[in-house]
Chain A
Amino acid sequence: MSKTPKTEIPFEQVPAAEALGKNIIEELKERMGHSLLSLDQLRPPEGVATGIGVFDDFFLWRGLPKGDLTLLHGKPGTGATSLWLQTAAQIHKCQENGKKWVAWVNSESELMPGPLLQRKIDLRRLLVVKQPAQASQLFWTLQEMISSGIFEMIGCHWTQAFLKNHQIQKLKKLARIHQVALVLISHLKQVVVNPLFALIIECHREFYTVRRALHRPTPFTIAGSMIHADLSFEIQHQPQFQTGGVLC
């Protein structure tokens, strides 16, 4: 038997399908079977907008993937948290979204409310978890938070000693079920391109490199100034620096 090549034709592209009436559509469905794609299949996977045009345009999710894992990699002070905060601010800004809560799990370093208020993040919609003492507690806490179904996005610092691969796998499954964007922030020396993460971004403050993203050519690099304002510029233009401050 000779094999007939399968051609995938989007449902909308079938010529004048609506005009032909329901019977013809049924007939087409019978004839073409699995070759037809439904609207849901054509829709790109959902994402949480970061509010940064370059990122939102580049990614298939139009932001950070919802219902999947994201890894932001970089040493502390290189801008990974800024990207998370930027996305959190965008979620809070989006008022039509009923589920607009975000959560953050502290590590040795903790979130400060000042910069959050400056970014107009609603502190009443941000649940902060103090660093759990044990690895099992962190995993349990993340599981409970994801399955509570109230968060749009959860951020957490990740060290390999605290979350094993099989645990990440379970979190990925939970995130998919409850449609939560789980963002892990890693301070390891080398970036681990783990296939469990749908999106991996390496942060260097001056530039950001996308190491892994669904259906997109990687690595892809953008300038840091496109993500966060040049803080050093802001600092130097404070009143006290204008009088006596000198960059050394």
Chain B
Amino acid sequence: MKFNTNHNSKLEAFYAEIFLPLSPRVQFRDPGLIFADIESTAGLLGGDDRVLAKALELAQRLSLTVQDSDSVRAAIADHPYTAQALALTPGAPTVSPVGEDQKTLSQLPLSALLHLEGLSPWEHPARLQHIISFFQTLGFRHLDQMMHFDLPSFRERWGTQGTTLWKRLHLREDQPITPFIPLDPLTSYGHFDDPVSLSEVLMQKLEPCLDLLFLRLEGLQRFATQIEIILHCEYSKQQHVLKIEPVSPNRNFSLFIDLLENKLDQIDLQNPVSEFEITIFDSPEKIQQLDMFETCDTGQDRWQRLISFAKQADVEMGFLQPEPSHFPERSYRLISDWPKTLSPEDFISRLDDSIQVKSVYAKGLVKSPRPSLILQEPLALSPHFIEQLKFFSQLPSERIESAWWEYFRRSPKENHRARDYYFAISTEGQLLWIYQDLEEQQYYLHGYFD
């Protein structure tokens, strides 16, 4: 079965991508005709009626995006030319039952011959108009009256076109729809007749272009990792390059629009914008297998949205991920994905009757007292301040130092020097975490048991 969607606007061939969810075999024909072979996919998508409704919905969205007020029409039939004739003939049925194309065609008026094209259009439409007039003078009204003539009659009178017409009337012409291979880049371009300095007006022009690109993304079943928008200004060849990059690739149109609005608010549009270019960097859609026992969390989208917002505003946020480092300041980092819990237990492997236990390095650190607040930059303490502190013990609570090989490969930024940690109380009752650098003998404040 094939269906046909007619569109009278100036559509590009790559818009066929939008219909890929219906079938991998999609073909575009000028002017604005899209054919899809749904023979093998209709069952998966819930039957002819559902496919038709989905096709109309997609076409309607495309139609709205390109600001075309013409109505969108679609029909399903066994052959592309029958589908086209049904879709474009007013009053014709939209679905032709399987194997009944000829019966459906026979009820159509003579004018439907003009649309009996499918993937290969009529070479001489004027000659076809002459054929229609000829049959009308004979008093014919519907196509079934033409079907009684045999092939030689058509060939003798109208040559090759007559033969083609007879074959299509008797469904003898095969028009296979080939699989669509998307090659066009996800880019868009626009210009303003009058340069624009208002972000709202700019958004009005950018939004439909982005909407169309997102429709294509949906059709291609891909996610956007980054959107780059270059705004070309009217004077001095100035450019604004806006890069919108959410935390995780997605296809959430409203999120990208919100991020873009935020970006636009931050730029100065005194030099008006005359042209713009949009490029979408895409990635394959990731299908995640959810844990069966994980409760469905509707808040996930919202926090991803929040993290994306923050990233655009250069505010770093995320979850605390414990890291396997014995240095406290390097024992965690912020990540935007779910954090994984470090397992401090020993690794026990069992082979036949033997058991091997591998002790995890520094597993005791997990249970050692750590301050709730840590200073990323330890604060050097004066000897006077140290004298006023009340230390819990003369001996350090723990000593942290790197392995000898770490000294050779350490970067100058990283402090791998050995330290002795102490607990102390200040005169104001603050419980502090202090260490002494064993090389320079200097005391530092490293955290608070707040």
Contact = CB atoms under 8 A, between A and B. Distances in A.
Contact of A113 (B306, B316, B332, B450): B332
B430 interface: yes
Interface stretch (A25-33, A54-62, A70-78, A191-199): A70-78
Nearest to B450: A81
A76 to B, nearest CB: 4
A202 to B, nearest CB: 12
B393 interface: yes
Contacts of B318: 127-128
A232 to B, nearest CB: 7
B392 to A, nearest CB: 6
B430 A75 contact: yes
A76 B319 CA distance: 23
A230 to B, nearest CB: 11
B132 to A, nearest CB: 64
B290 interface: no
Interface stretch (A12-20, A215-223, A234-242): A234-242
Interface in A111-169: 111-118, 123-124, 126-130, 132-133, 137, 140-141, 144-145, 148-150
A3 to B, nearest CB: 53
A10 interface: no
A82 B448 CA distance: 11
B372 A81 contact: yes
A236 B392 contact: yes
Contact of A124 (B314, B338, B425): B338
A231 B393 contact: no
A113 B329 CA distance: 11
B395 interface: yes
A176 interface: no
A248 interface: yes
Contacts of B401: none
A119 to B, nearest CB: 9
A246 B374 contact: no
B423 A123 contact: no
B320 A248 contact: no
Contacts of A112: 328, 331-332, 370-374, 447
A247 B394 CA distance: 7
Given A127-B317, A137-B315, A241 B393 contact: yes
Contacts, number: 174
Contacts of B448: 76-77, 81, 109
B338 A80 contact: no
Nearest to B429: A205
Contacts of A240: 395, 397-398
B319 A126 contact: yes
A114 B331 contact: yes
A238 B369 CA distance: 9
B376 interface: yes
A114 B302 CA distance: 27
A126 B332 CA distance: 14
Contacts of B423: 232, 235
B179 interface: no
For the residues of B in contact with A, the DSSP-based class is: mixed
A117 B367 CA distance: 10
Given A110-B373, A245-B393, A123 B431 contact: no
B339 interface: yes
Interface in B410-446: 423, 425-426, 428-432
Contacts of A140: 313, 315
Contact of B319 (A108, A127, A132, A241): A127
B449 interface: yes
A115 B372 contact: yes
Contact of A127 (B303, B394, B426): B303
B316 to A, nearest CB: 4
A67 interface: no
Most chain B CB atoms below 10 A, which of A113, A141, A236? A113
A70 to B, nearest CB: 16
Contacts of A210: none
A233 to B, nearest CB: 10
A12 B148 CA distance: 89
Interface in B340-379: 341, 366-377
A79 interface: yes
Contacts of B431: 77-78, 205, 231-232
Contacts of A124: 319, 338-339
Given A241-B397, A247-B392, A82 B320 contact: no
A85 interface: yes
A115 B426 contact: no
Interface in B119-143: none
27 contacts: A75-B428, A76-B448, A76-B450, A78-B428, A78-B450, A80-B450, A81-B373, A99-B299, A108-B375, A109-B373, A110-B373, A112-B371, A114-B366, A114-B370, A115-B370, A117-B341, A123-B322, A124-B319, A127-B303, A127-B318, A140-B315, A232-B425, A235-B397, A236-B392, A240-B395, A240-B398, A247-B393
Given A77-B432, A232-B392, 8 more contacts: A109-B375, A113-B320, A124-B339, A127-B317, A141-B315, A150-B299, A235-B397, A241-B397
